[in-house]
Amino acid sequence: MKTLKRVAIVLLILLSLPFLSALFLPRKFVIEREVVIKKPKQEVFDYVKHLKNQEKYSKWALIDPKMKTSYRGTDGTVGFVMAWESNNQDVGKGEQEITKIAEGDRVDVEIRISEPFQSVDPAYTATEAVADDQTRVKSVYLGKMPYPMNLLCGYVQNKIGEDMATGLTTLKNLLEKP
């Protein structure tokens, strides 16, 4: 009987360790990726400020070319909303809205995901001239995960970061085509 109690206590401790660890792990995270594109800054900015263009370079849009999309408002302006819906779990369902534009420099969006999980997080794309014909494009996502899901923050950061990097590489290749 003593052995059974000890085993039960050890199992209880082992099962509770992740939940205790999650109490001390961050619940907010920032993911940043960037790429340099051999095009003038204004040309790059004029392209990335239009959310419809993401259908040509976003990793998530390219995963499911049959994804349903809908739009509200005028693309490239504050208040424009692009919604998507996919049966693919990696794409899911949600929408993003342009919340702020610093003309020539930065486009802020709010990303609202409703499936396969729910979240509302800000993100932005910024452009910076490196030279007259070179532009640094930085993509930033500011996320949060509630306890105890914050245990997965590292995995989520890596996965989203990889997808953002893929999208930026695709954008670079697209814009640098002769």
The domain limits of the chain are 27-176
Per-residue confidence (pLDDT) for residue 7, from 0 to 100: 85
The mean pLDDT value of the chain amounts to: 93
Q: Give the pLDDT score at 73.
A: 98
Q: State yes or no: pLDDT of 112 exceeds 80.
A: yes
Burial of 80 (0-12, 13-18, 19+ CB in 10 A): buried
State pLDDT tens for residues 11-52.
888 888 878 787 888 889 999 999 999 999 999 999 999 999
136-148 pLDDT, tens digit per residue, is: 999 999 999 888 8
Angle at 17 between CA 14 and CA 19, to 5 degrees: 130
Q: Quick check: 1 pLDDT over 80?
A: no
Q: Which CATH class is domain 27-176?
A: alpha beta
